[in-house]
C-alpha cells in the first residue's frame, strides 16, 4: 500500500487536525497534495513547509466553504496550483474533511446555526464532488469524513450528527453512479480525535473521552489519516460505498 507517486490529492480542512495528518500522510506516500484551509493561512503554510522539508510536494489553497462562491474559489486555486506543478488539472484523490462542530444544544440552536452546519458539512462536500468530477480520471478516489455520531447518540449534537448523516449518503449514491468509471467513494467515521480544542488539555476530560473507546484512549489524527490512506490507495480498489468505522471501537457500545 501507499504508492501515490504521480497522483494529485486535495484534502479540505488540511491546516489542522485529521486533515493535516492526512495531507502529510498522502504526501509521504508520494502524492502532490493541495492543502486547503479557510482562515488559518500560517497553519496551512506550516503544513506545506513540513511536507516539503520531508521531501514531499504540496501547496496551499484558500477557500471559505459554505459561503457563496466558496467551491468556485477552491477550484480556481486548486487548478492554478496543479497546472503550475503538473501541467494539467487532473485530480486523482479528493478528501472532503473540512467540517464544523455544532456545540450548541438542540433547544438553543438557531436556524442560522443549523444552516451553517449543513452548508459546511453537507452542502459543500456535495458541490466539491460535483465540481471535482470534471477533473477526476477513471480510478480516482473520494473519501468523505463523517462521524461516529451517526451511530452513537449524543443529544447535544443533533444538528451536527444530521449533517454527517447527510454526508454518508454521498458515498452510497455517488459510489453507484461512479462505479463504471472505477471511482470509489467511501465514508470514514472518526470517534473522538485529538485536535486543537482546549478540551484536550484537560486530563480529566481526556480520560472521560478515552473511556468511550475500547482501547481507552482518544484518537490521534494519524489513526484516521492511515485509514484514509488505505482507502485512496490501489489496495482499496474493491471497496466503495462503504462506511468505515475509525472510532477506536467507540461504536461497539
What residues are annotated to the active site?
160
List the one residue out of 131, 125, 158, 161 whose CA is nearest residue 143: 125
Could you tell me if residue 238 is left (phi over 0), alpha (psi between -120 and 50 degrees) or otherwise beta? alpha
Query: Cell triple for residue 250?
Result: 467507540
- Stretch of residues binding ligand NDP (CB under 6 A), selected from 49-57, 84-92, 97-105, 129-137: 97-105
Name beta bridge partners: 236: none
Contacts of residue 178, Cβ cutoff 8 Å, sequence gap at least 6:
133, 142, 184, 185
Strands 8-11 and 93-96: parallel
* Nearer to ligand NDP (CB atom), residue 40 or residue 89: 40
The reply to whether 64 sits near ligand NDP by the rule CB under 6 A is yes
Residue with cell 436556524: 111
Query: Cell triple for residue 82?
Result: 496543479
The reply to whether 205 sits near ligand NDP by the rule CB under 6 A is no
Could you tell me if residue 182 is left (phi over 0), alpha (psi between -120 and 50 degrees) or otherwise beta? left
Q: Which of 46, 50, 73, 100 binds ligand NDP (CB under 6 A)?
A: 100
Contacts of ligand NDP in 28-57 (CB under 6 A): 37-40, 43
Q: Which of 128, 140, 192, 244 binds ligand NDP (CB under 6 A)?
A: 192
Q: How far is the CB of 15 from ligand NDP (least distance, A)?
A: 4
By CB under 6 A, how many residues form the interface with ligand NDP?
Answer: 28
* Nearer to ligand NDP (CB atom), residue 39 or residue 88: 39
Q: Say if CB 81 and CB 116 are below 8 A apart.
A: no
Query: Cell triple for residue 145?
Result: 469524513
* Nearer to ligand NDP (CB atom), residue 184 or residue 250: 250
- Stretch of residues binding ligand NDP (CB under 6 A), selected from 52-60, 95-103, 135-143, 230-238: 95-103
Name beta bridge partners: 10: 34, 94
Q: Which of 4, 7, 10, 19 binds ligand NDP (CB under 6 A)?
A: 19
Residue with cell 482562515: 39
* Nearer to ligand NDP (CB atom), residue 90 or residue 100: 100
Residues that bind ligand NDP (CB under 6 A): 13-19, 37-40, 43, 64-66, 97-100, 120, 145, 147, 190, 192-193, 195-196, 221
Amino acid at each position: 500500500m501507499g504508492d501515490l507517486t504521480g497522483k494529485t490529492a486535495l484534502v479540505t480542512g488540511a491546516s489542522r487536525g485529521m486533515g493535516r495528518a492526512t495531507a502529510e500522510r498522502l504526501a509521504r506516500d508520494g502524492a502532490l497534495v493541495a492543502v486547503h484551509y479557510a482562515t488559518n493561512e500560517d497553519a496551512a503554510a506550516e503544513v506545506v513547509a513540513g511536507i516539503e522539508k520531508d521531501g514531499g510536494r504540496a501547496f496551499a489553497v484558500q477557500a471559505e466553504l459554505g459561503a457563496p462562491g466558496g467551491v468556485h474559489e477552491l477550484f480556481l486555486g486548486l487548478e492554478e496550483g496543479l497546472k503550475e506543478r503538473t501541467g494539467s488539472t487532473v485530480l486523482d484523490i479528493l478528501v472532503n474533511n473540512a467540517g464544523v462542530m455544532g456545540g450548541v444544544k438542540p433547544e438553543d440552536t438557531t436556524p442560522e446555526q443549523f444552516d451553517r452546519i449543513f452548508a459546511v458539512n453537507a452542502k459543500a462536500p456535495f458541490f466539491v464532488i460535483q465540481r471535482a468530477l470534471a477533473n477526476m480520471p477513471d480510478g480516482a478516489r473520494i473519501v468523505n469524513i463523517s462521524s461516529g455520531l451517526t451511530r452513537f447518540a449524543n443529544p447535544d449534537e443533533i444538528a451536527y450528527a444530521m449533517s454527517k448523516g447527510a454526508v454518508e449518503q454521498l458515498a452510497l449514491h455517488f459510489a453507484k453512479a461512479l462505479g463504471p468509471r472505477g471511482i470509489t467513494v467511501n465514508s470514514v467515521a472518526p470517534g473522538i480525535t485529538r485536535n486543537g480544542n482546549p478540551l484536550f488539555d484537560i486530563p480529566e476530560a481526556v480520560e472521560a473521552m478515552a473511556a468511550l473507546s475500547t482501547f481507552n484512549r482518544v484518537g490521534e489524527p494519524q489513526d484516521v489519516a492511515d485509514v484514509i490512506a488505505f482507502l485512496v490507495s490501489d489496495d482499496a480498489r474493491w471497496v466503495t460505498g462503504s462506511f468505515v468505522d475509525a472510532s477506536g471501537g467507540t461504536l461497539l457500545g
